[in-house]
C-alpha cells in the first residue's frame, strides 16, 4: 500500500541554523509533491509545490528537493527563526483526486 | 477574501445523534475534500468531490456521508456518530484541471467530540 513517512516527529534547532526535514514515500509515483505548514489549532497552509521533473524549488528562505529515484523530498529552512516553529506536512499528489499526507514534523526553533 | 469556512468549529455530541459539518468556499473551486486529523496518523482523506454531483470515497469513508449539490458547499454528514469519530476535521478545496492540480486551501478545522 502507499506509504509516506516524515522521519522526524519533532526537530529542535538553534535559531539561525538550517532546518532540514525529510519526507520518504513508497509504492507511489507522485506527479507532484507539496509542503504545508500547520500552526496549532489551524488548518494547513500551502508553502511549495515541486513537480516530478524538477530537482529543486526555492521560495525566499525555503528550499525543496525532490528525488524520484530515492523516493524522497528534503525541505530546508535557512536562517531559521522562532516564527518558523510549526508542524510541517509533506503531501504526495499523484492523480487529480487524491492527495496523501504525511503525519508531519513538529519543528521548534529556540532563540 | 478567499476562504474555506467550516461550521461548527467545536462540537460535543453523543453517540448516535446525527450531525452535519458544513463547508463552504468562495473561490469557485471544482475540487473539495474532507480530511480528519488524529495524533500520529496525520491527515486522512474521508471523501472528495471533483465537481457538482460527483463524489468519491477517500481512505476512511466508513461512517460518513457527503453531498455536493452546489459548487461552493460540501457538507460532511455523520448519520450515527460513534466515539471513534472524535477527531479534528478539515475541509479543503482547490482548482481542478488536467494542467494544474495546485495547492489545497484548508478551512480552520472542526473539532468534534463524540461521547
b/e burial code for range A28-50 (CB count within 10 A of at least 16 → b):
eebebbbbbbbeeeebbebbbbb
Residues of B with Cβ-Cβ distance to A43 under 8 angstroms: 4, 90, 92, 106-109
- Report CB contact under 8 Å: B48, A97: yes
A101 with B108: Cβ contact below 8 A: no
Model pLDDT, residue B47 = 95
Kindly state whether A96 is in contact with chain B, defined as any CB-CB distance less than 8 angstroms: yes
Q: Is the peptide bond before A58 cis (omega within 30 degrees of 0)?
A: no
Nearest to B40 among A91, A96, A103 (CB): A103
Task: Report chain B residues whose CB lies below 8 A from the CB of A100.
Answer: 45
Each residue's pLDDT tens digit in chain B (115 positions)?
A: 889 999 999 999 999 999 999 999 999 999 999 999 998 888 999 999 999 999 999 989 999 999 999 999 999 999 999 999 999 999 999 987 665 567 899 999 999 999 9
Supply the pLDDT for residue B99: 57
Amino acid at each position: 500500500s502507499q506509504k509516506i513517512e516524515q522521519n522526524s516527529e519533532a526537530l529542535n534547532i538553534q535559531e539561525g541554523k538550517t532546518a532540514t526535514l525529510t519526507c520518504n514515500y513508497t509504492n507511489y509515483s507522485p506527479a507532484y509533491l507539496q509542503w504545508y505548514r500547520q500552526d496549532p489549532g489551524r488548518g494547513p497552509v500551502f508553502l511549495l509545490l515541486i513537480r516530478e521533473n524538477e530537482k529543486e524549488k526555492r521560495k525566499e528562505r525555503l528550499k525543496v528537493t525532490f528525488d524520484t529515484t530515492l523516493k524522497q523530498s528534503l525541505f530546508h529552512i535557512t536562517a531559521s527563526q522562532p516564527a518558523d516553529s510549526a508542524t510541517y506536512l509533506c503531501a504526495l499528489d499523484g492523480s487529480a483526486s487524491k492527495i496523501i499526507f504525511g503525519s508531519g514534523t513538529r519543528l521548534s526553533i529556540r532563540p | 477574501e478567499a476562504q474555506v469556512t467550516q461550521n461548527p468549529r467545536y462540537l460535543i455530541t453523543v453517540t448516535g445523534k446525527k450531525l452535519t459539518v458544513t463547508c463552504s468556499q468562495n473561490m469557485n473551486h471544482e475540487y473539495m475534500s474532507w480530511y480528519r486529523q488524529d495524533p500520529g496518523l496525520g491527515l486522512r482523506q474521508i471523501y472528495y468531490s471533483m465537481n457538482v454531483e460527483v463524489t468519491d470515497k477517500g481512505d476512511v469513508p466508513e461512517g460518513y456521508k457527503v453531498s455536493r449539490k452546489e459548487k461552493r458547499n460540501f457538507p460532511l454528514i455523520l448519520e450515527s456518530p460513534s466515539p471513534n469519530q472524535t477527531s479534528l476535521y478539515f475541509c479543503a478545496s482547490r482548482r481542478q484541471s488536467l494542467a494544474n492540480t495546485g495547492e489545497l486551501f484548508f478551512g480552520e478545522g472542526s473539532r468534534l467530540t463524540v461521547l
